[in-house]
Structure 1
Amino acid sequence: MKNRRIPIALRFFVTVLMTTLVIITVSLGVLHWTMQRSFTKYVADVELQKLGHLNENLAGVYLAYHDWGNAIQAQILQIEGDAAPDDYDKLSQWWLRRQYDIALQQRYFYDHTFVEGEAPVINSSTALLDQQDLKVLKENLPSEYRPFEGLKFPLSANQNFYRTKFKDRPRTEEPEAVVNHEGKLNKRIIAMPDQLGLSSRLSLYDADKNFIVGERSEQELSFQPIWVDGKIVGYLGLKSVLGQDDALSINFFSNQKRYLLLVYILTFLASLTAALLLATYFKKPIQRLLNAARELTQGNYQHQVKINRNDELGDLSNEINQLAEILDQHERSRKQWVADTSHELKTPLAVLQAQIEAMQDGIRKATPEHLEAMMRQVMSLKKLTQDLAALAQADAQQLTCYLAPTDPWEVVVQEVDNFRLKFEKAQIDIEIEGAGAQLLLDRDRFKQVIVNLLSNSERYTESGGKVHLHTVQDQDSWTLYVDDSPYGLSDDQLTQLGQRFYRVDDSRTRATGGTGLGLALSIKIVQALGGTLAFEHSPLGGLRCKLSFKKNNDVQ
């Protein structure tokens, strides 16, 4: 059963969609956790900022009494009369709320009056209360140092003394004046509207955050320090107006589900659009690369893919183009190799066939001379096949070498002596000078290289010419130079030297029995032995062969 393919556009879409959804979900989860954890405290901190005037009043009270307990007790004792058994407890619990109410009235009065001469004048144009209400507020404006002014013990006797709001009387009614037994005007206790309900959530703590008065709470409070002379003397504590359930009720996940669904829909559409654009952006060059790979598999090595991009796809297209060029070169080399090999085999085989047919027809007899000519063709075929086999082994990195301590100069001198007769017959002068070194070499393989180099010099040096062999060595390397006189080589011929079946003078080489494989095989053998073989123009006007080995394998 054939596996179902997943298009690249779908892969991009799923990847972008899932990534975006994960990011959004995690972000909303963090928002959920943050709001649930921090929002109630944030609200309380904002509300504490509205208690600046109360904080200043409490600081002044502490400065006057130097202790919170003393301050509360002293201000309660300012009330005249005989207290009921529970009056002191009631006033202690009421003290902080009363200080808050006083600060609220003072702040409102100061914000809506201005000074004219020495007495404050009511600015009714900016006041929320009318002229009569502000007049009542002015006459009954309390002091934080006398929060219970006008009260008498027992507290039950003051029921007609409280005014919880200004609007509890007819508009035409004038405020009542309360006169004490000394003939002085008593102030009424007037409670300002507490729209935020702060007074019921306030508590007072000392400098060590020990509870003093106010509303106890088990939930986390927000604190505002009270400073006196640069020192914290207490804290105002405020319980948040929002409970855990209230925080959840305003949470993003609880009351904005429609918006959350809309976010997911928009995310889906955005991911789809981005995926299509990305898929289109990447799919076209990928399709071109796929077509290029198909062309290469079909043998069209001249195909080139054009992708003008400065990214990995552009790099991949360049690599594929280079691969196509290399494969094309290898294919042409292979075809040339087959053509050259068949050509080299065809010549001696044709000669042998002609000689054998002549003997079969009785035209030529099997004389020693004729048999020797046939043997030369057989030896030529044998050398060609041996060279081809050695090159094949070298290409497959299977060329066998038996390394042993060897003096390369000794091998060179020996082979020069073996070739001396040939050089004399060709009227070529040969000179040698140098020194040896102990290297790890395969003696037979090294000898094969020297034989090829000497044969090449003998074959391509004109009569009356010269061949010079000398060595140069240092602590790191041993180098043999083989220089000969013209025939010389052009720069183009020099670059092609060492290629298989390449001959500088094809007719001359055939006359001397060359196959065009000697230098190519020598290069492979030298590489297998860990050395290098290079070709340059010789100072003598012909060819210079530079054979070099490093002494890292030097045997002492």
Structure 2
Amino acid sequence: MKRTIGWQLIFSFLAISVVSVGLFGWLSMRIMNDHFKAYVSLRQTEEITAFTGQLEQAFAGGGSWDKTVLSTIGTDALKSNIILKVYDAGGQLIWAPSAEEEKTLQQTGSHMMQMNDMMGGEESGYTLATTKLYDGGKEIGSLAIGTIGPYAYTEHDRQFMTDVKNNFLIVALLTLVLSILFAGWVARQLSRPVVKVSDFTKEIAKGNYADQVPQETKIVEIDELIHSVNQLSHQLEDQQAIRNRLSSDISHEIRTPLTTLKGNLEAMLDGIWEITENRLRICYDEVNRISRLIGDIDRINEIESHHEKLTISSFDLQELSKKIMTNFASAVGQKNIALSVSGERVMIAADRDKISQVLTNLLSNAIKFTPENGEIEIETRKQGEQAILKVSDNGIGISLDDQEKIFERFYMTEPSRNSKLGGQGIGLAIVKSIVKKHKGTVRVESDPGKGATFIVSLPLE
């Protein structure tokens, strides 16, 4: 059965409170019983020792047994739940409580044994012990001692223990009540922001990205959750803007060649233009332009959907960089750009063709945005278990906002300028897809006006 976070916290607090209070109460009662048993046993031993001493002193005071004194001492012993029977040196009974008093004490003892069992004590019963009485070094008689043992609890003891248990019960109930109140308060403090975050995510699911973000709390985890959801909202909003612009860009990229193609064909069909090889070539180029656009989109989809398998081989990343660099000799020569490869040789296990595509796209992008007489450097090196590939230029650079979006499909910084320079904003998306498929990462570091550095990290094996 599903529960809200508030009720879940309340149930958890209550469970912890019940277990804690129960365990604490049980340990407390156990410790108190042990100490109380020791106290009762010691008290009984001291009382018996005291009565024995009184009897010996009573005999020594008069040189004979005084039954009045014996009766007084024996009656006091009965009050302490102890039965005393005094015998002379010849073994004759001198004094003993009446049969009725002894029976009453034993009945009381039965009740005490029940109390002792309830207290968790050891098994008790009526016990009888005998000790010698002396006057100096002379034996003057013997004393039979009947007790309820080993732990005889008096009525006062029973009342004391009952009061303690009642107090423990009251404390336990108060603790549970306070636990419920505290659990309710904590649950409210924790669940309220979580519920607000939940409502916020529901609005995001409806496409309302600009709704008010839940206020921060004093709880680190919840604040991190709010921050993450807020970032998600911004990213989704940015993605929505990119999708909107994507639709517009694709429409523009396809409409332009289609318009040119349609106009040329209509002019030739109407006889306004003569059908020539040059005009057919123009139509053919426009068709190729549309095909390349659709091909790039399909390529990204194929890479990202993991349908395209990698052909892994071992090769030198620096050597591959030098080879790709020669393919751009004409392009860099036209703009008089200084292109170089530095660093160290790095052997990696990857798909050579796919990594060639990564280098080609990054170099093409760098040449496009680097002014005449600029500089582009490719650097390869090892860093732990990673191969690092850097492509740096001193071109126009990329703003901080754009750095987080340039790897998205069809995203272009300053679309109007990109349109003049050529391209559809797909190259870097392909780079990201290929690197991700190799379980690597790609990022960019740039200061506007000072150039950009694209950093690709790939596992060595």
TM-score by length of 2: 0.64
SS of the residue 1:196 aligns to? helix
Provide the rounded CA distance (Å) in 2 between the counterparts of 1:537 and 1:13.
52
Q: 1:100 aligns with which of 49, 54, 64?
A: 54
Residue 196 (structure 1) aligns with: 77
Of 39, 44, 64, 1:42 maps to: 39
Match of 1:366 in 2: 275
| Contact preservation (8 Å) 1:494, 1:536 | no
Given that 2:321 and 2:378 are in contact with CA atoms closer than 8 Å, whether structure 1 keeps it comes out as no
Report SS of the residue matched to 1:195.
helix
Q: Per-residue displacement from partner, 1:210-247 (whole Å, max 9, x unpaired)?
A: xxxx99x976899xxxxxxxxxxxxx997655788967
Give the structure with higher Rg (CA). Answer: 1
* Deviates further, 310-319 or 265-274: 265-274
Q: Give 2:248's aligned residue.
A: 339
Structure 1's unaligned 5+ residue stretches are 55-95, 106-141, 152-161, 166-188, 204-213, 223-235
Kindly state the Cα deviation for residue 518 of structure 1 after the two structures are TM-superposed: 1.8
2:229 aligned partner: 320
Partner of 2:430: 521
Report SS of the residue matched to 1:441.
strand
In 1, the alpha carbon distance for the partners of 2:144 and 2:245 equals 97
What RMSD over aligned residues (CA atoms) do the two structures have, in Å?
A: 5.2
Say if 1:430 and 1:468, in contact at 8 Å, map to a contact too.
Answer: yes
- The 3-state SS of whatever aligns with 1:439 is strand
Distance in 2, Cα, partners of 1:512 & 1:473: 32
Cα distance in 2, alignment partners of residues 479 and 21 from structure 1: 58
Distance 1:163 1:27, change over 3 A: same
Alignment correspondent of 1:404: 313
CA contact (8 A) 1:36 1:244 kept: no
Please state if 1:289 is matched with 2:170.
no
For 2:28 and 2:415, the matched residues in 1 are separated by 86
Asked whether the 8 Å contact 2:25–2:168 carries over to 1, the reply is no
Structure 1 pair 196–408 and aligned structure 2 pair: CA distance change class (3 A) = same
Q: 1:543 to 1:360 in 2, by over 3 A?
A: farther
In structure 2, relative to structure 1, the CA distance for the partners of 1:35 and 1:484 (3 Å cut) is closer
Identify the residue that residue 63 of structure 2 maps to in structure 1.
149
Match of 2:293 in 1: 384
1:320 Cα deviation (Å)? 3.2
Aligned in 2, Cα 1:312/1:468: closer, same or farther, shift over 3 Å?
closer
Candidates 305, 309, 315, aligned match of 2:214: 305
For these two proteins, the number of residue pairs brought into alignment is: 406
SS of equivalent to 2:314: strand
CA contact (8 A) 1:402 1:442 kept: yes
Displacement of 1:149 in angstroms is: 1.2
Q: After superposition, where does 1:416-495 map in structure 2 within 5 Å? A: 416-424=325-333, 426=334, 428=336, 432=340, 438-462=347-371, 465=373, 471=379, 473=381, 488-489=396-397, 495=403
| Separation of aligned partners in 2, 1:370 and 1:380 | 16
Cα distance, 1:396–1:405 mapped onto 2, change above 3 Å: same
Return the offset for 1:48. 3.6
Return the offset for 1:409. Answer: 4.7
CA gap of 1:247–1:511, structure 2 versus 1, over 3 A, is: same
- Matched-pair contact (CA < 8 Å) for 2:387–2:460: no
Cα displacement string for residues 317-336 of structure 1 (whole angstroms, at most 9, x for unaligned residues): 44433433333333333333
Equivalent position amino acid for 2:314 in 1 = P
Q: Which moved more, 1:406-415 or 1:383-392?
A: 406-415
Which residue pairs with 2:68 in the alignment? Answer: 164
- Percent same amino acid at aligned positions? 21
Change (3 A) 1:407 1:300: same
Q: 1:220 to 1:288 in 2, by over 3 A?
A: farther
**Pairwise CA distance, 1:385:** 2.0
TM-aligned CA distance change 1:237 to 1:314, over 3 Å: farther
Q: Contact conserved, 1:411 with 1:447, CA < 8 A, in 2?
A: yes
1:469 touches 1:483 (CA, 8 Å); kept in 2? yes
Amino acid at match of 2:54: Y
The SS at the match of 1:164 is helix
Q: 1:291 to 1:14 in 2, by over 3 A?
A: same
For 1:408-460, what per-residue CA distance to the aligned partner results, in whole angstroms no more than 9, with x for missing partners?
Answer: 45544544444434555x35366556686543232222332333344335544
The letter of the residue matching 2:259 is A
User: 2 CA distance for matches of 1:23 and 1:504?
Assistant: 62
Q: 1:19 to 1:459 in 2, by over 3 A?
A: closer
Write the mapping of 1:168-317 to structure 2, written as runs, cut at 5 A: 192=73, 194-197=75-78, 201=83, 240=147, 251=158, 263=170, 273=181, 276-303=184-211, 304-310=213-219, 312-317=221-226
Whole-Å separation in 2 of the counterparts to 1:313 and 1:348: 52
Summarize the Cα distance change of 1:345–1:32 in structure 2 as closer, same or farther, 3 Å threshold: same
Gap regions ≥5 residues in structure 2? 86-94, 97-123, 130-142
Change in 2 beyond 3 A, CA 1:367/1:23: same
- Distance in 1 (alpha carbons) for counterparts of 2:15 and 2:440: 58
Q: Which residue of 1 aligns with 2:137?
A: none
What TM-score does the superposition give when structure 1 sets the normalisation length?
0.55
